[in-house]
Structure 1
Amino acid sequence: MKVGDLPYTLLFLLPLALSYPLLKGRHNDTGTNLHSAPDPDYKVPGMADRCTDEGFGAITLDDKGVMHYFRGDSEWMGFQGPTCGINESWAGVTGPIDAAFRNYNEEKPQEHQRIYLFKGSQVWSFFEGNLVSGFPRPISQEFPGIPDDLDAAVECHRGECRTDSVIFFKDDTVYIYSYVEKPAVKQRHWAALGRCTAAVRWLERYYCFSGINFTRFDPVSGQVLSPRPLDTRDYFVRCPGRGHGHAARHNATLTAINNRCSNRSFEAFSSDDKSRIYAFRGGWYFRVDSNKDGWHAWPLNHTWTNLQGAVDAAFTHENRMYFIQGSQVIVYLSAQIYIPIAAYPKAIEEEWEVPGVTAVDAAFTCPHSSNLYLIRGNKLTQVDLVFRKRSGEDKTIIHEELDSAMCTTHGLYLFHGPSFYHYKDVEELLSSVKAPAPKGIGSYFLDC
């Protein structure tokens, strides 16, 4: 069942994900640790009410993954945070805030993950809760070519946009500010999207808020990806008597499958060409590298169209992501989004000319290599992905049971149950007569 381009399951899971505890013992994008804190009163006498139909003037995630909503002189943190004054969190800033975003600029580490707040002709920059020296300063100095009195702003990551950039909104004009391209500012008119009074990037999705309603949009074309506007109070903030699937959400609990800290094994790990790391379990996945967007479990078809159920292995090669389910291989192109290749699924034996290989325990590729390694029990099969066939004889490894494997620039990781083993490379694995000391998946990869 679908509601336009937003899968029904996503619409149900969005408020669930926003309300789940994300980081053990610390604040997260719900604004509170739900294991230990009761649901706070949504409205404090004498304070602004987040649940009116006014909407918000600006929205952003901060550098710890906490969502902030601004209106007038008030601010709300997370799905159910109480009302507080803006100057309680942002020293020297008073409302109303016109726009806000969390910067993404890996080319300039000193500016990466800063929070920018805009008001009139001025911009403030904060890092780890502290005002950066030299701010506030004129918008025209910090972002030449960007006008004053903005309506909204949102960061856009390379791979989702052409380059690391910021999308600014004012009236009927969109300003794309690139950190590396010349000219730095390009103007667009996204008539179908309408005016955005706030905007935010969350889990690789881009949302335009107009008053109390929001729509999802494509950050490159401005195409509207929602069939109709949705009410922010049903998805992004908790309000009495509201919410998509309200009763079901009220009684929902984390399960062993979608709770990253349950110590249940993962069927696959994979790192793609954009250094995104995924952990797969029981038809769900976690983004391992994106804890500042929250530790959420999502169904596979949220990112990979039509992919369902447990996967046995996953790996990437030359802008393609491969999934192995049973005896079948499924492949997606990884451009700005994952696009299924029509010729698949295919049998493992057909895809790589490996007679007799009808299932695997794990599979991995390493960066800048065309070698694929298939693991079955304690046997390692090497496949040349250029010629798509077996390369040499099978090798024996010291591990007889593995759930998954992943190779990154930091080495080779082999996963079994709640633990993993780390090797420098494949050669070290093949030469080892004793396994290294196991480490915990949850604490090392998932901050449990």
Structure 2
Amino acid sequence: MKGPLTSSLFLSLLSFGFSYPLIKGKHNDTGTNLFSPPDPSYNDTGRCTDEGFGAMTLDDKGVMHFFRGDYVWMGYQGPSKLIKDSWEGLTGPVDAAFRVSNENNPLAHQRIYLFKDTRVWRYFDGKLDDKYPRLISQEFPGVPDHLDAAVECHKGECRADSILFFKGDTVYIYSSQEDPPLKKRQWAALGNCTAAVRWLERFYCFNGINFNRFDPVTGQVLSPRPLDTRDYFVRCPGRGHAHIARQNATLMSIKNRCSNRTFEAFSSDDKSRAYAFRGGWYFRLDSSKDGWHAWPVSHSWRNLQGVVDAAFSFENRMYFIQGSEVSVYSTDQIYIPVAGYPKPIQEEWELPGVTEVHAAFTCPHSSDLYIIKGNKLTLVDLKTRKQSGGARTIIHQEVDSAMCNVHGLYIFRGQSFYHYKNVEELLTSTQAPAPGNIASYFLDC
């Protein structure tokens, strides 16, 4: 690093587009294993007290860090370390922390900001950037010292790429993309945040050991009640929603992405968010920094329940096929159900004799919808909603799912996938390509 960017240039270059969940790494280090049997030798009582944390952030490897006093805990389990031994030039306590991402600009990508008193430290790959620490007033003009919390907010989630700084009952919203760059808000309902974090495109305010989810634009509290950090963000003996899930072997298998259970659907939307669906739950696939957490489909798509047979995206809408019905959601800042759905497949498209679907996909920047049932592929023009030509035979006798993106076409069956350059290669192939393993290639198992 030859020198720091000014705060104005830094924020103008931000391009927030991905969510970075709790843990990244081998599958036994990830959130998925919150649903696996606990290690009987593990007893990290320090993180499981009722004190809460003074700051939280993901690092550039996708691992969540929890700061309290002179110590930091890394990941959802494991012993504490002294902050001074983990972060060059810094001793505890840490007042606030956040991470930013910009894949289009390496100088602003995956930087970690840690705040203490009047200064801010910036790190990349565990090393302190040149000319840091700096005064907070130099890096973020108008933002006060001795902060309580901070969190990044991406364009589309906020009105512009921003940083939310919390002090007392005041929120300072900083973005060089707006005029003026600093705005102050009073979010009385949210209360004081002793720590804040963005995880999987959602925003959380921590007050001691409890937390609420909130809207980063309005400050509205979105949780029906405060929840305990020890049940969701860290692993503590005998606690957590995962503790309940362990009692159900089938549910554990569904939520464990590395189990041998088949996925019923794969899909990506117009914002390059990619998903794998299994048993009424889904995993996010699109970020190399993703941790792995299974969510019920209703978590992102309100009112959607049960197994998804096929899913695809077209013109800022995401379509879900379940049995003989199709549901549609608009894809803006969040997924919003489109009125009038679900409706029968035959009512949505003119498909003589088609009442169920094994797989369906669209390719980027195309209005062609391809539907697979058995070994037959049917083309539908989404502009006219009518079938185009007759069904054509493919070499795969059975298909669980299919997905098309900028990297080509993927056909999924069982634990394997088959990659084609495009639809034409699939239709003209007389022999399937060598299979790949779904779990290792798509799910980091």
Shift of 1:392: 2.4
- Aligned residue in 2 for 1:8: none
- Aligned residue in 2 for 1:340: 337
What is the aligned counterpart of 1:325 among 314, 317, 322?
Answer: 322
- Aligned residue in 2 for 1:292: 289
Shift of 1:272: 0.8
Q: What does residue range 107-256 of structure 1 map to in structure 2 within 5 Å?
A: 107-178=104-175, 180-239=177-236, 243-244=239-240, 248=244, 255-256=252-253
- Aligned residue in 1 for 2:59: 62
Q: What does residue range 436-447 of structure 1 map to in structure 2 within 5 Å?
A: 436-447=433-444
Shift of 1:388: 1.5
Q: What does residue range 424-435 of structure 1 map to in structure 2 within 5 Å?
A: 424-435=421-432
The answer to which of 373-382 and 269-278 deviates more is 373-382
Matched, 1:40 2:36: no
Distance 1:306 1:361, change over 3 A: same
What is the aligned counterpart of 1:371 among 345, 368, 371?
Answer: 368
Distance 1:224 1:280 in 2: 29
Q: Equivalent residue of 2:244, what SS?
A: helix
- Aligned residue in 2 for 1:87: 84
What is the aligned counterpart of 1:406 among 395, 403, 406?
Answer: 403
Distance 2:330 2:161 in 1: 21
Q: Equivalent residue of 2:252, what SS?
A: coil
Distance 1:179 1:371 in 2: 40
Distance 1:238 1:66, change over 3 A: same
Distance 2:68 2:231 in 1: 18
- Aligned residue in 2 for 1:422: 419
Distance 2:429 2:321 in 1: 27
Q: What does residue range 241-280 of structure 1 map to in structure 2 within 5 Å?
A: 243-244=239-240, 248=244, 255-280=252-277
Distance 1:246 1:444 in 2: 26
The answer to which of 325-334 and 137-146 deviates more is 137-146
The sequence identity of aligned pairs, in percent, is 69
Distance 1:144 1:368, change over 3 A: farther
1:9-50 deviations in Å (ceiling 9; x for gaps): xxxxxxxx97xx97436744699998896553324xxxxx33
Distance 2:243 2:59 in 1: 30
Distance 1:229 1:395, change over 3 A: same
The answer to which of 207-216 and 162-171 deviates more is 162-171
1:168-217 deviations in Å (ceiling 9; x for gaps): 11222222233644443333222211111100112222110112221110
Q: Equivalent residue of 1:255, what SS?
A: helix
1:242-271 deviations in Å (ceiling 9; x for gaps): x34686367576733222112322111011
Q: Is the 8 A contact 1:328 1:348 kept in 2?
A: yes
Specify which structure has the bigger relative contact order, considering alpha-carbon pairs within 8 angstroms and separated by 6 or more residues: 2
Matched, 1:24 2:22: no
Distance 1:77 1:156 in 2: 22
Q: Is the 8 A contact 1:29 1:61 kept in 2?
A: no
Distance 2:356 2:369 in 1: 15
In structure 2, give the amino acid aligned to 1:319.
N
The answer to which of 388-397 and 324-333 deviates more is 388-397
Distance 1:338 1:68, change over 3 A: same
Distance 1:67 1:50 in 2: 13
Shift of 1:315: 0.6
Matched, 1:391 2:388: yes
Distance 1:314 1:131 in 2: 44
Q: Is the 8 A contact 1:161 1:336 kept in 2?
A: no
Distance 1:209 1:341, change over 3 A: same
RMSD of the alignment, in Å?
A: 2.7
Distance 2:378 2:311 in 1: 16
Distance 1:125 1:40 in 2: 32
1:414-446 deviations in Å (ceiling 9; x for gaps): 111111111112222223222221111111111
Could you list the runs of 5+ residues in structure 2 that have no partner in the other structure? 1-20
In structure 2, give the amino acid aligned to 1:63.
D
Could you list the runs of 5+ residues in structure 1 that have no partner in the other structure? 1-16, 44-48
Distance 2:148 2:258 in 1: 40
TM-score (norm 1): 0.87
Q: Equivalent residue of 2:206, what SS?
A: strand
Q: How many residues align?
A: 424
Q: Is the 8 A contact 1:354 1:390 kept in 2?
A: yes
Distance 1:32 1:89, change over 3 A: farther
Q: Is the 8 A contact 2:31 2:292 kept in 1?
A: no
Q: Is the 8 A contact 1:268 1:313 kept in 2?
A: yes
Q: Is the 8 A contact 2:121 2:133 kept in 1?
A: yes
